[in-house]
Amino acid sequence: MITALAASQAYAAAQKSLGIEDGPGMVGSQPPQQGGFGDILKSAITDAVSASKTAERTMAAQVAGKAELVDVVTAISAAEASLETVMAVRDQVINAYQEIMRMPI
């Protein structure tokens, strides 16, 4: 289940990947770079895969005795949060597509 904290972290990560450091309307905010929804989605999926690989490396290091269990749990929860974010976006895209298909012409 996605919590409010996980959603806000995902939103902050998406802003950071677009190069926006501050929220909209804040001093120092930059306009989004050229690119669209596809670029944001690609970035989110890349981040999810990266988090998953990091979690796997941390688990292997813990098995070898080179990492703490807390690090493993943190890496796994980060990977889980990014995967849940990607799944939530996917569900919203599917719902939007279905809604568009139900619209009368």
pLDDT for 68-85, tens place per residue? 999 999 999 999 999 998
Residue/partner pairs of 29-33 with CB below 8 Å, 24 or more apart: none
What are the start-end ranges of the H helices in the chain? 4-18, 37-63, 69-102
Helices 37-63 and 69-102 sit at what angle, rounded to 10 degrees? 150
Instruction: Check: pTM over 0.75? Answer yes or no.
Output: no
Residue 64 has pLDDT above 70, yes or no: yes
Residue 51 has pLDDT above 90, yes or no: yes
Contact between residue 85 and residue 2 where contact means Cβ atoms under 8 Å apart? yes
Contact between residue 81 and residue 10 where contact means Cβ atoms under 8 Å apart? yes
